[in-house]
Amino acid sequence: MNFEPRPEIQQKLNTLPTNPGVYLMKDERAEIIYVGKAINLRNRVRSYFHSPHSQEPKVWRLVERIRDIDFIVTETELEALVLECNLIKKYKPHFNVRLKDDKRYPYIKVTWQEPFPKVYVTRRMENDGARYFGPFTAVWAVHETLDTLRKIFPYLTCDRDITGKDKRACLYYDIGLCIAPCIGAATRDDYRAMIDRLCNFLQGKSEQVTAAIREKLDQAAAQLEYERAARYRDQLQALARITEHQKVASLVPIDQDVIAFARDDGDACVQVFFVRSGKLLGREYFVLEGTEGENEEQVLASFVKQFYDEAAFVPPEIILPGQIDEAQIIESWLKNQRGHTVALNVPREGQSQELMQMATENARVTLNGLKAQWLADETKQMSAVAELQEVLKLQNPPLRMECYDISNTQGTNSVGAMVVFERGAAKKNDYRKFKIKTVDGANDFASLQEILRRRFKRLVDTREEEYAEEQRSAGASERESVGDAQMRTRGDTIHSPTSNLHLPTLPGKDDSWKMMPDLVIIDGGKGQLSAAQEVLNEIGIEGVNLISLAK
């Protein structure tokens, strides 16, 4: 592989400064495909064009696609790190390690800046005086948590202007899901104290919350306010049910995050354990993409930067499975984020090591479960179809794809194969094998043309027969346009995409032959592609997307 930079790239390399900063690599379409930071921009960017023997395969693929390089100079490496995080989040470059499905993750938001704070789920964290908890990965789990917490801390969900002078409360007050400050049943201070306990609970301070509620129960009982005491009793019982599964992670009431990850075939899953006040409060997993060719240190560093750039809370200690090169600068950045010192540590023994082992095993199990789910997940399949449509710049998604290949045994017994995918999933009932009949010897071009000619001739014949049957049944002479992909038959044009076809199926006919593919994929190079296009032109097939894949 030639790593010699193009003249226009070499000119950029010659003018790169030695300052800290961020560099942006672009492809032929001027799209940003990689963002990186450097203490010395000139040395770092030039290193990509060293001998290929010293580079990872991922770097080879990156360098092959570079057509332009931009850079932004910063005062310090810390500024470069912050800018790098923001640019990766904005552009999602293909060659960067990044959070998969990087939509905004859900948070629990408590509008503490308001006199009567509300509690709800949001996907955007703002500097507005509110308290945020998260991020979480499963929005349904967040809503489920809030449903449970509302029974303990019956916070407001209405849009009333709270004056304490309303004549009637809403139904939620009657069923115990609101303490009705709107009618003066609870004061502003009472309501805010309850919301503060909710926030403390979300921070993992369950023992403090339990003690506070127990004290209120005792006071209510001493004052013979048995109805209020019963309400506090129910809250304590609900809290006990929530906290009974919280594992004691440390005898010391510390706050820490434990981060572990598992990798398999280019997929990576990160598991984060949240330890608050010495208890394992919860866990979340995150899937990464773009990890191929990256070592563990690079993957860890990339995740830590992206995750804590969005995190509502940064603990004083983060436990990692191994050291990372950027540890010192990341600690400085996290200190700025949190306002206090943050340490990145690797456990050697004790409870932290046990937690790391447990987190690693959970990451492995989660990744295996996700991979099994992905294979059967139609949503993922359609996401892949949409991604393919975007990459190939197709007008419509390739809902039906047909792939063709030729093989032979030492130049004899040539056969062709057609493999079909519909909506991103293999449709094995439509797979076909063709025995080559008209070609002698190993001639892949002629053999490919034969199987394509046979396949699309069957399409034409089936469509003509069914179209004629439709015309006879309808007694109509006027032909109707029903789509985009076209087929010329006997001087006329029939429009017939897969998704819009409503022709009748004749008895005894194989229904699969009449399906017009949205995309035809040929195993081969430009020669095979030209041979395939020649057949489609010959038969009169128009509007079908055609590509070839060269090894």
Output the pTM of the full model. Answer: 0.58
Query: Considering only CA atoms, which of 383, 352, 211 is closest in space to residue 278?
Result: 352
Cis peptide before 135 (omega within 30 of 0): yes
Helix 327-338 / helix 77-91 crossing angle, nearest 10 deg: 80
Placement of tokens 């090169």 in the chain: 325
Tokens (6 digits) for 315? 């603990």
Same fold flag, 7-96 and 400-549: no
* pLDDT number for residue 475: 58
Q: Which residues pair with 70 in a beta bridge?
A: 24
Residue 4 has a CB neighbour count (10 Å cut-off) of: 9
Cβ burial 47-60 (10 Å sphere, 16+ → b, else e): ebbeeeeebeeebe
Dihedral-angle region of residue 404 (phi above 0 means left; psi in -120 to 50 means alpha; beta otherwise): beta
Q: How many CB atoms lie within 10 A of CB 215?
A: 11
Q: What angle do CA 252, 248, 143 make, to 5 degrees?
A: 115
CATH of 256-376, one of 2.40.10, 3.30.420, 3.30.43, 3.30.70: 3.30.420
Q: Residue 484's pLDDT is what?
A: 44
Residue entry with tokens 């800046």: 113
Task: Give the domain ranges of the chain.
Answer: 7-96, 107-248, 256-376, 400-549
CB 398 within 8 A of CB 545: yes
Residue that the structure tokens 């999602």 belong to: 92
Phi, psi of 13, deg, nearest 5: -60, -35
pLDDT for the residue 243: 64
Rg from Cα positions in the chain? 32
- pLDDT tens string, the chain, 551 residues long: the values are 556 778 888 888 999 999 999 999 998 878 899 999 999 999 999 998 876 655 677 888 898 889 999 999 999 999 999 999 989 988 889 899 888 765 567 889 999 999 999 999 998 888 888 989 877 777 877 888 888 888 888 999 988 889 888 989 988 888 888 989 999 999 999 999 999 989 988 887 777 788 888 888 888 888 888 887 887 888 787 777 666 555 555 556 788 999 999 998 778 999 999 888 787 878 888 999 888 888 889 899 999 999 998 888 899 999 999 998 889 999 999 998 878 899 999 998 888 888 899 999 999 999 988 887 776 677 778 888 999 999 999 999 999 999 999 988 877 788 999 999 998 888 888 899 999 988 887 888 999 999 999 999 988 887 777 777 666 666 544 444 333 444 444 334 433 333 333 333 333 345 678 888 999 999 989 999 999 999 999 988 888 899 999 87
Residue labelled with tokens 């139609």 = 378
Pairing relation of β-strands 519-523 and 545-549?
parallel
- C-alpha 209/C-alpha 33 separation (Å) is 49
Q: What's the token pair of residue 317?
A: 């200690």
The CATH number for 7-96, chosen from 3.40.630.30, 3.30.230.70, 1.10.760.10, 3.40.1440.10, is 3.40.1440.10
Q: Which CATH number is 400-549's, of 3.40.630, 3.30.420, 1.20.120, 3.30.1300? A: 3.30.420
DSSP state of 325: T
Q: For the chain, give the number of residues.
A: 551
Mapping DSSP to helix (H, G, I), strand (E, B) and coil, where does residue 199 land?
helix
Strand order in the sheet with 541-542: 492-495, 486-489, 541-542
Nearest CA to 397 out of 405, 407, 387, 406 is that of 387
